């Protein structure tokens, strides 16, 4: 009876989280924010439902399979999200118009500017040495 | 209430019914995003989400039918879904690089210059 109650609660909470993740996937304004909704809430919801399966059958074999499935989801979801995000960022990703920060782009422009300054310094040093030589 | 009876009735039957309903609503949201998604990346994210949703669907069905062997299907589906997502992401990245490449690559520009010289 206790096992049934715990199973029912975990199953309903997990399904509700997956449903909310779908709502976020539909309503959020840009790709990165949509991924933030679907990846994290969806993985947690599926993990809770799988935990409910592991508890419901009071059996070590089923529970270990459920734990393996949860671990697999937790390992692969961030990798997949990272790969999609990188691919989308390298193609033309449109950020939300109310977005205020893009640290990756800022760091890249900063790096390019530093490289330009170093090249300029090297050119100046070369010209001064060549002019002072004769 | 015959559907609840089909899942064994009682608390587990009702909880399975309710969970399947919630997952069905989530599936509808995911399919709408898959249809309207403006870019390829949006559609890949929607497909990834639908895979996770199918895993939880199968888990709920395993509880509802009392058949633990279905769980193997969930594990296999999670594996295939991950591989599919990674393949889609690499494809999208490479397609964008190929679309950009001809404008920047040196030999193409040299060829254009040669054509200009011939004229």
The rounded percent of chain B whose pLDDT value lies above 90 is 55
What letter would DSSP give residue B88? Answer: H
Q: Does B26 touch chain A (CB under 8 A)?
A: yes
How far from A124 is each of A112, B97, B100, CA to CA, in Å? 18, 36, 35
Contact A76 B53 (CB under 8 A): no
Provide mean pLDDT across the span A105-125: 86
Of A7, A25, A56, the CB nearest to B49: A25
Distance in Å, alpha carbon of A115 to nearest chain B alpha carbon: 21
Q: For the segment B7-51, what is each residue's pLDDT rounded down to a tens digit?
A: 767 889 999 999 999 999 999 999 999 999 888 889 999 999 999
Exposed e or buried b per residue across B39-77, where buried means at least 16 C-beta atoms within 10 angstroms of its C-beta: ebbbbbbbbbbbbbbbbbbbbbbbbbeeebebbeebbeb
Distance CA A24, CA B90 (A): 25
The domain ranges of chain A are 2-96
Question: Residue B113's pLDDT is what?
Answer: 64
Helix ranges (DSSP H) in B37-105: 40-65, 70-104
Contact A56 B12 (CB under 8 A): yes
Distance CA B81, CA A20 (A): 21
Question: Residue A69's pLDDT is what?
Answer: 94
Q: For the segment A61-91, what is each residue's pLDDT rounded down to a tens digit?
A: 999 999 999 999 999 999 999 999 988 888 8
Q: What is the ipTM of this complex?
A: 0.82
- Cα of first residue to Cα of last residue in chain B, in angstroms, is 81
Please tell me which residue of chain B has the smallest CA distance to A13.
Answer: B19
Please tell me which residue of chain B has the smallest CA distance to A2.
Answer: B11
Looking at the predicted structure, is the pLDDT value of residue A116 above 70?
yes
pTM of this structure: 0.81
């Amino acid at each position: 009876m206790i096992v049934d109650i715990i199973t029912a609660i975990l199953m309903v909470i997990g399904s509700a989280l997956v449903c909310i993740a779908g709502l976020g996937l539909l309503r959020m304004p840009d790709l990165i924010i949509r991924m933030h909704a679907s990846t994290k809430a969806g993985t947690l919801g599926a993990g809770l439902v799988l935990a409910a399966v592991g508890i419901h059958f009071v059996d070590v074999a089923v529970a270990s399979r459920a734990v393996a499935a949860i671990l697999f989801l937790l390992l692969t979801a961030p990798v997949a999200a990272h790969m999609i995000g990188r691919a989308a960022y390298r193609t033309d990703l449109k950020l939300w118009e109310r977005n205020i920060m893009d640290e990756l782009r800022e760091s890249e422009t900063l790096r390019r500017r530093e490289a330009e300054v170093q090249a300029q310094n090297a050119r100046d040093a070369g010209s001064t040495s060549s002019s002072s030589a004769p | 209430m015959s559907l609840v009876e089909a899942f064994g009735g009682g608390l587990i039957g009702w909880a399975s019914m309710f969970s399947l309903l919630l997952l069905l609503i989530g599936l509808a949201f995911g399919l709408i995003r898959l249809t309207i998604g403006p870019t390829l990346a949006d559609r890949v994210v929607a497909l990834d989400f639908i895979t996770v949703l199918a895993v939880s669907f199968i888990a709920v069905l395993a509880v509802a039918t009392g058949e633990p062997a279905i769980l193997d299907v969930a594990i296999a589906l999670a594996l295939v879904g991950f591989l599919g997502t990674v393949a889609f992401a690499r494809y999208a990245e490479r397609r964008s690089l190929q679309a950009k490449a001809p404008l920047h690559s040196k030999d193409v520009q040299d060829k254009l210059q040669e054509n200009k010289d011939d004229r």
